[in-house]
Amino acid sequence: MNIKRTKSILSILILIVFIALSLTSCSQPKQSGPGPDTKTLYDFALLYSYRNIPLSDSKKVQELLTQLQYAKELSVDRMELITENEESLLRINYRMNLTPGQQYKVNHTKMMADAVVLFALLDHLSAVEYNLVQEDYSYGGVPITREQAEQVLGADIASLGKTEEAFLADMPELTAKLRWNPGVMDIITYEHMMGLDEQFPFYPSGPNFIKSIADKGGRVEITEDMRERFNLFARDYRWCYLPDMDGYESFFDTKRYADTSGHSNFAEAVFYVIHYMRCPEKMSSQAMQNAVQSLFVAKGSYQDMPHQAYFKAANYENGYYSPWPEGMPDFNRMFYLLTSLDVQQQGTGEVYITIRAKDYYFNDPDIYEAGENEKWLAAKAEELGTSDLQAAAQLLASGKMEGIEGSHEYETTLVVNLNGANPNGYNPRFLSNQSRYIAYDEPFAE
């Protein structure tokens, strides 16, 4: 009897609570937009109080920066406003304080979200440049432009900042959903900061290939797996743009490029780095110097490279390089066949890897009239019952590229350091490279 009564009372209480909750939810208007977690990114109401503050007011700009996400992780070391041709760039240096063995993961999404907020609040701001600094080392140097931020965000930023109502209603959700991965190195170690290893973003396909062959010795029998790995490696590292060189010092020569333009062969190195970095809109001279030194091995010591514009290779203005306007191939249609591989182990832990390879390019038959290469590939694709690019990948891996002529051949020597003290020892660095047109130039000497 008592049990039944208790159950009845409990049922009534549950019903009352359910009705109360239902009435409460019905009496409130439905909330739209982001959930509570998105509001923790920024104090959007406070941020809007800085709407269109003068960029010249360093105190106010400094206050604004302290409200952004990155300033909550790292302290602002220095900021600088650079104005030219009615365009303003805000350079922000954040201070790193890493100690031996420590590392820091760069959050590019937070950087882009902060840039979006700055662009929405400051109509006259054209670009934001972030640098993470420790002593003489700086990570960054590539500005984020307003146009680039809008592409990542997928919205018109100026309209988001026009009114406080629009800013408060839309910015929380947009910044919470924003994701940005520029495809560059995102781990900084103390050793990076102090110059104890490469200070440069290496694409993982390079170390992946090298790890698979670094324990070999002498002339290596090439396998299908090696061909597949090398093709990805060469594609990521833009092998078709590798400059002919013999040590970093050879870029000071005045052959090849200088024969027609009067400049050193650093033009070819700069052109390569810009394309390796996927053509950033701007790249500082220091970032360029770091890139060239990281990718290309010096036989002696590194001297500072000359910084200047190189006709048809790169523009240079106010300390920044930018790409020379030109068309580019579809790199997914470029294939690299590994034809020879020699690995020499050194007692110091260094490994010298000499590679010979050919490149093949297949135009898109839906856009261009098919040439001999495209007709050959179409026939092979029909035999295999696959698409043309899948057929090319299969034929390349198996080494069955007979009956088709490649465009260029390369002989390249890489150096890696596997002495155990270098955690990034598998990152490839170029000691020498020579290329030839297969149809016109003499074959390489055996």
Q: Are residues 302 and 382 in the same domain?
A: yes
* pLDDT confidence bin for 23, thresholds 50/70/90: very low
Q: Report pLDDT for 327.
A: 82
Q: Are residues 140 and 110 in the same domain?
A: yes
Q: Which amino acid is at 10?
A: L
Whether residue 185 is contained in a domain is answered as yes
Mean predicted lDDT score pLDDT of the chain: 84
Whether residue 48 is contained in a domain is answered as yes
Q: Is residue 364 a contact partner of residue 345, using CB atoms and an 8 Å limit? A: no
Please give the average per-residue pLDDT across 128-132, as a whole number. 90
Chain segment 71-117, per-residue pLDDT in tens: 888 999 889 998 887 788 999 999 988 887 688 888 989 999 999 99
Q: Are residues 236 and 175 in the same domain?
A: no
CA end-to-end span of the chain = 102
Please give the average per-residue pLDDT across 425-438, as a whole number. 92
Please give the average per-residue pLDDT across 280-284, as a whole number. 83
Pairing outcome for strands 76-84 and 103-105: unpaired
Q: Is residue 148 a contact partner of residue 178, using CB atoms and an 8 Å limit? A: no
Within 13 Å of residue 319, how many CA atoms lie on the same side as its CB? 8
Q: Are residues 258 and 361 in the same domain?
A: yes
Number of domains in the chain: 2
Element (H, E) at 269: helix 266-276
Please give the average per-residue pLDDT across 361-373, as a whole number. 91
Q: Are residues 159 and 290 in the same domain?
A: no
Q: Are residues 180 and 254 in the same domain?
A: no
Q: Are residues 378 and 346 in the same domain?
A: yes
Containing domain of residue 238, as a range? 203-446
Please tell me the least confidently modeled range out of 41-50, 242-251, 297-306, 394-403: 297-306
Whether residue 10 is contained in a domain is answered as no
Please give the average per-residue pLDDT across 4-11, as a whole number. 35
d(CA 299, CA 304): 15
Whether residue 122 is contained in a domain is answered as yes
Whether residue 211 is contained in a domain is answered as yes
Pairing outcome for strands 218-219 and 429-437: unpaired
Share of the chain above pLDDT 90, in %: 55
Q: Report pLDDT for 192.
A: 61
Structure tokens at 327: 């068309």
Q: Are residues 57 and 110 in the same domain?
A: yes
Q: Are residues 270 and 381 in the same domain?
A: yes
Q: What is the model's pTM?
A: 0.58
Q: Are residues 178 and 220 in the same domain?
A: no
Please tell me the least confidently modeled range out of 128-137, 318-327, 346-355: 128-137
Please give the average per-residue pLDDT across 436-445, as a whole number. 90
Q: Is residue 234 a contact partner of residue 336, using CB atoms and an 8 Å limit? A: yes
Whether residue 2 is contained in a domain is answered as no
Higher pLDDT among residues 11 and 351, named by residue = 351
Alpha helices, DSSP H only, in 305-407? 372-384, 388-398
Whether residue 21 is contained in a domain is answered as no
Q: Are residues 188 and 288 in the same domain?
A: no
Chain segment 173-210, per-residue pLDDT in tens: 999 999 987 766 677 777 666 654 444 678 889 999 99
Q: Report pLDDT for 348.
A: 73
Whether residue 25 is contained in a domain is answered as no
Q: Report pLDDT for 136.
A: 61
- Pick from 91, 77, 74, 67: nearest CA to 144: 91
